[in-house]
Amino acid sequence: MSAPTDDFLDHILARAKDAGATAAQALSSRTRYFEIEFDHRSVDLVRSTENETTMITVFRDGKRGGATLNGRRPEEVEAAIAAAATAAEAGVADPANDIAEAPSLPPGDHGPLAQDRAAMRAQVDEFLASLPARHPLLRLRDCLYTFTSQETEFANSNGLRQRERRGGHGFRAMFMAKDGPLTTSFNAAGGRSFGPFASLYDAAGVGRLMAECERSLERRPVTGKFVGDVIVTPHCLTGLMPSIAGALSGPALLAGSSPFKDKRGERIASPLFSLDNAPRSADFVDGSDFDEFGVPTRDLPIIENGVLKDFYVGYFFSRKLGMAQTAGVRNSRVRPGETSLSDMIAGVKRGILFSRFSGGAPNDNLDFSGIAKNSFYIENGELRHALNETMVSGNFQQLLQDIHAVSKEVVNFGDCAYPFVAASGVTISSK
Amino acid sequence: MLDRLVARAAQLPAYGELRWHANHSSRIMMRKGVLLANGRSRDSGLSARLYHNGAFGFAAAPADDEASLAAVIATARDNAEFAGGHAASGGLSTAAGSGSYDYRSKRAPLSAEQRVEIVRRLDEAIRSRYPGLVNVDIALSSNASEKILANSDGAATYSFVPRAALVVSMSVAANDGIVELYDILGGFGEIEDQSFDEANLAPWLEDLHENLRRKAEGGQCEAGDHDVVLDSALAGILAHEAIGHTCEADLVLAGSVAGDHLGELVASEKITLGDYGGRGPDGKSSFAIHVDDEGTPCRDVAIIENGVLKNFLHNKRTAQMLGAEPAGNARAFSFQDEPLVRMRNTCIAKGNDKLSDMIGAIERGYYLKRSTNGQADATSEFMFGVNCGYEIRDGKLGRAIRDTTISGVAFDMLKTVTHVGDDFHWSAGGGWCGKKQVIAVGMGGPSIKCRVTLGGRG
């Protein structure tokens, strides 16, 4: 570990008790961040920051209040404890409000302690030097090569203590192609990993998307409106899956607005589709050993072969809903299938390679509509042309049922991992 | 603190800024009477940004003492040298803003009990008045950005800019699933400055519930290109997403199509659109800014004047690269963030047309009342979500529509504008914009009749 445990959280818990807490907890995160930002010409910013954020929760006779501060300036720590206590006093009593009892884990230590900034810089320089030959028409904006080291500590007045450190690299590229008057849409991709990326082109499928971007200078809409297939890319799923996971979560169950609320044990998706929550996964740099109540996390299936096995229910909602706690954090992994991407494309009579969804937030019923960005038209098993001004509309409940292929290829983004997923029954339209 | 930053900034070895920055926020969130969030947060610290050979070095720490200030300056300097940029031609603008802009409430602060009571009583009122609802969410939130900034050119300024919002969301069960609608009240100022008492809220809730009831009875809109009237409540997001982002100079440098159209007619001559300092042209926007986070005094920027694309939005660096003068668009969200090119109060100027005439002029189309999220693109293709709207048939409002998304290519769509309303509306609650960092913005405009593409399964 990079820093010794101190008594900061114990001090907070003691002061919270002095302020009238019947129970209290504190979660502290110390973060060191380093970033090289560049565009297609050169590095334009190097940024390093330090921060320490502490979230204090005070419980008072079944009522709960919170305050978050950063740093350790004594007067601000005292003010935050007082504010949390005052908020708790003003709160609404609920029997679900309490701190957790759980086993304290041995401290977790994941990933490198610090960045090698010279090596990171060398990778950026190599990337920029090779870009004109690899992708002469690409323009980059706000590309970030980063390293983050974060130590997280938890303590509550039941004596529960947790601690973990995670260090990892991140790369994010935003890019477009321009050739005279022809301009593509922006595209962006990135991911995180423990170690430095072997090549920035290989980070989370960035190279594939850059090649697709250059193929997108000539774009046109689909003709008219049709109901067809979509091959949803892993990058597109990063935007779509939170809506589906949200509908499977404790807050949605409390609202009573989830279309899946009574469907545990039922088939809600194609048998080809399996979704796991995997916060302990060794290849998720942004996983977690414990959640915001200090409860150890665990991996478990959410949807297995299309059947809803469990919901994402954290500590508070498990008490509120009378359910077992399953997940205090969310790290989604859709299991790979047995079809190659090329075979998936070959199997589409009429549809699109759906690479990014730019649309209104899906509603409670999981209806969605939006523009298919950075996407391609597929006809008779061939990728034909890049799309513009093309909208997709459908419903995620139905889309899950209509999945007919899942790819072997998977992209790991560092906090989630997805394959390509092919489904039918989506309305695709242009003007 | 300001004196310390001014003294230190004067000693910087190159152009640079020093900033102490705090974000103060609070949030109370209730779902079906269950209090899910009830607290406040404060995030503050020091940052330094130094310019060296065409690149910047930045460093920040969660502290306010002299030793930490010296340390962040040293780290920023080291980072600037490590950035190893190439010497840039021309210097950065030296315009230096000053002044104190303190908008904290003059009213007595509400206690924690009083804030929770606003939410609790509102929840009770809604659930007793509208018993058939599946869910009720109420969120009362505030955010204030407090900054002290000095730069090596002599800028020295303090600001405290608060906003507050009340969001109410209701859900009902329709024949084909759950239907939800939300609306937002509030804007500039602290919670104490808003009118969140029950007497003021009753007609607003009634309108929200009536729109929800009609939405539940409504249907999917027909996908495709349609004549629409965008209510003035949507005009802000149109100004922000369709035009504003496309005209941010960092995106122009990256290849945005706006760069190819400066000086050209890109919209109907009825369209004038600007990005404003202060609190916008009428002084009533949900956001205020007088000096930006590079120390540049804020000036208004005419982006489109009578349909002609006139200017882009700059920070010091993009202005240097494109031979322009910055007008105060460099903004950072927190002490850990460097200033980026951002919009401030972006709006379309009002015209002379009546909303009723616009609706009456459409034989078959849609009246779109409220928006959700939005996105822009380098191609000027934009989209934003719509959660409340109605069909127009033969010049009259018809059945409500379910959630949809509208899109268009801004520089094409704005040429289809035939009417610009005599009404004007700043987006309630204030807008937030995401671009590396999230940041508060003001957005506004009048109702507009134009042609856009709607998504839908109908």
Dihedral sign of CA atoms A123, A126, A130, A131 in order: positive
Comparing C-alpha atoms, which of A273, A413, A281 is closest to residue A338? A273
Q: Name residue A394's beta-bridge partners.
A: A368
Does residue A208 share a domain with residue A104?
yes
Question: Best interface-test mutation with A: which of B225, B336, B368, B452 has the largest number of A CBs within 10 A?
Answer: B336
Question: B37, A178: Cβ pair inside 8 Å?
Answer: no
Does residue A233 share a domain with residue A198?
no
- Nearest Cα of chain A lies from the Cα of B25 at a distance, in angstroms, of 10
> Which of A159, A187, A215 delimits the end of a domain?
A215
For B252, nearest residue in chain A (alpha carbons): A141
Q: Taking CB atoms and an 8 Å cutoff, what residues of chain A touch B176?
A: 365
Q: Is the pTM of this model over 0.80?
A: yes
pLDDT at B174 over 60: yes
| pLDDT given for residue A431 in this prediction | 75
Task: Kindly report the average pLDDT of chain B as a whole number.
Answer: 94
Does residue A195 share a domain with residue A240?
no
Comparing C-alpha atoms, which of B158, B42, B165 is closest to residue B104? B158
| pLDDT given for residue A5 in this prediction | 54
* Terminal alpha carbon distance of chain B: 60
Q: Name residue B274's beta-bridge partners.
A: B302, B347
pLDDT at B88 over 70: no
Instruction: State the DSSP code for A372.
Output: E
Question: B257, A388: Cβ pair inside 8 Å?
Answer: no
Q: Taking CB atoms and an 8 Å cutoff, what residues of chain A touch B180?
A: 257, 363-364
- Nearest Cα of chain B lies from the Cα of A342 at a distance, in angstroms, of 29
Confidence of residue B429 (pLDDT cuts 50, 70, 90): confident
Q: Taking CB atoms and an 8 Å cutoff, what residues of chain A touch B404?
A: 360, 369
Dihedral sign of CA atoms A111, A5, A103, B35 in order: negative
The CB density around residue B394, as the number of other CB atoms within 10 Å, is 9
Question: B64, A68: Cβ pair inside 8 Å?
Answer: no
Question: A64, B38: Cβ pair inside 8 Å?
Answer: yes
Question: A178, B255: Cβ pair inside 8 Å?
Answer: yes
| pLDDT given for residue B376 in this prediction | 84
pLDDT at B198 over 90: no
CB A162 within 8 A of CB A241: no
Q: Taking CB atoms and an 8 Å cutoff, what residues of chain A touch B32?
A: 254-256
Per-residue pLDDT reduced to its tens digit, A67-110: 999 999 999 999 999 999 999 999 999 999 999 999 999 999 99
Instruction: State the DSSP code for A42.
Output: -
Does residue A289 share a domain with residue A173?
no
**What would the mean pLDDT of A225-232 be, rounded to a whole number?**
94
Question: A91, B38: Cβ pair inside 8 Å?
Answer: yes
| pLDDT given for residue A350 in this prediction | 95
Does residue A244 share a domain with residue A184?
no
Rounded to 5 degrees, what are φ and ψ at A424?
-115, 175
> Which of A215, A233, A267 delimits the end of a domain?
A215
Per-residue pLDDT reduced to its tens digit, A235-267: 999 999 999 999 999 999 999 999 999 999 999
| pLDDT given for residue B456 in this prediction | 74
Distances (CA, A) of A45 to A34, A48, A129: 11, 10, 18
Of A36, A76, A393, the CB nearest to B457: A393
| pLDDT given for residue A369 in this prediction | 87
| pLDDT given for residue A293 in this prediction | 97
Confidence of residue A4 (pLDDT cuts 50, 70, 90): very low
> Which of A181, A215, A249 delimits the end of a domain?
A215
| pLDDT given for residue A67 in this prediction | 98
- Burial code (b: 16+ CB inside 10 Å, e: under 16) for A229-251 equals bbbbbbbbbbebbbbbbbbbbbb
Question: B223, A257: Cβ pair inside 8 Å?
Answer: no
Comparing C-alpha atoms, which of A166, A191, A203 is closest to residue A415? A191
- Tokens for B197? 């008492």
**What would the mean pLDDT of B190-207 be, rounded to a whole number?**
91
Question: B171, A257: Cβ pair inside 8 Å?
Answer: yes
What's the ipTM? Answer: 0.94
Per-residue pLDDT reduced to its tens digit, B393-417: 999 999 999 999 999 999 999 999 9
Confidence of residue B458 (pLDDT cuts 50, 70, 90): low
Of B30, B137, B405, the CB nearest to A370: B405
Q: Which domain holds residue A102?
A: 5-215
Question: A427, B75: Cβ pair inside 8 Å?
Answer: no
SS3 B2: helix
**Number of domains within chain A:** 2
Question: B404, A360: Cβ pair inside 8 Å?
Answer: yes
CB A155 within 8 A of CB A9: yes
Name, of A224-228, A363-367, B391-395, the range with top average pLDDT: B391-395
**What would the mean pLDDT of A210-215 be, rounded to a whole number?**
93
Can you tell me the distance from the alpha carbon of B441 to that of B286, in angstroms, rounded to the nearest whole number?
8
**What would the mean pLDDT of A370-380 be, rounded to a whole number?**
94
Comparing C-alpha atoms, which of B321, B301, B337 is closest to residue B252? B321
Instruction: State the DSSP code for A361.
Output: P
Does residue A183 share a domain with residue A223?
no
Does residue A248 share a domain with residue A201?
no
Can you tell me the distance from the alpha carbon of A143 to that of A124, in angstroms, rounded to the nearest whole number?
10
Q: Taking CB atoms and an 8 Å cutoff, what residues of chain B touch A93?
A: none
Task: Kindly report the average pLDDT of chain A as a whole number.
Answer: 94
Q: Residue type at A344?
A: M
In chain A, what percentage of residues exceed pLDDT 70? 99
Higher pLDDT, B143 or B458: B143
| pLDDT given for residue B27 in this prediction | 97
Per-residue pLDDT reduced to its tens digit, B259-313: 999 999 999 999 999 999 999 999 999 999 999 999 999 999 999 999 999 999 9
Dihedral sign of CA atoms A220, A226, A229, A235 in order: positive
Per-residue pLDDT reduced to its tens digit, B52-65: 988 999 999 999 99
Question: A225, B224: Cβ pair inside 8 Å?
Answer: yes
| pLDDT given for residue B266 in this prediction | 95
Does residue A200 share a domain with residue A184?
yes
Per-residue pLDDT reduced to its tens digit, B343-390: 999 999 999 999 999 999 999 999 999 988 888 888 888 898 999 999
Q: Classify residue A109 by burial, with Cβ atoms within 10 Å: 0-12, 13-18, 19+.
A: middle
Does residue A19 share a domain with residue A110?
yes
Does residue A358 share a domain with residue A223?
yes
Per-residue pLDDT reduced to its tens digit, A300-325: 999 999 999 999 999 999 999 999 99
| pLDDT given for residue A1 in this prediction | 37
Which helix (H) or strand (E) is B43 found in, with range?
Answer: strand B34-52
CB B363 within 8 A of CB B395: yes
Does residue A273 share a domain with residue A179?
no
The CB density around residue A324, as the number of other CB atoms within 10 Å, is 9
SS3 A239: helix
Query: What angle do the packed helices B112-129 and A74-90 form, to 10 degrees?
Result: 30
Question: B111, A90: Cβ pair inside 8 Å?
Answer: yes
pLDDT at B170 over 90: yes
Q: Residue type at B227?
A: D
Question: Best interface-test mutation with B: which of A49, A72, A125, A293 has the largest number of B CBs within 10 A?
Answer: A49
* Half-sphere exposure for B11 (CA within 13 Å, toward CB): 9
Q: Classify residue A420 by burial, with Cβ atoms within 10 Å: 0-12, 13-18, 19+.
A: buried
Q: What is the CATH number of the domain that holds A64?
A: 3.30.2290.10
Does residue A223 share a domain with residue A204?
no
**What would the mean pLDDT of A32-43 be, rounded to a whole number?**
95
- Interface size A-B, in CB pairs within 8 Å, comes to 267
SS3 A404: strand
| pLDDT given for residue B200 in this prediction | 85
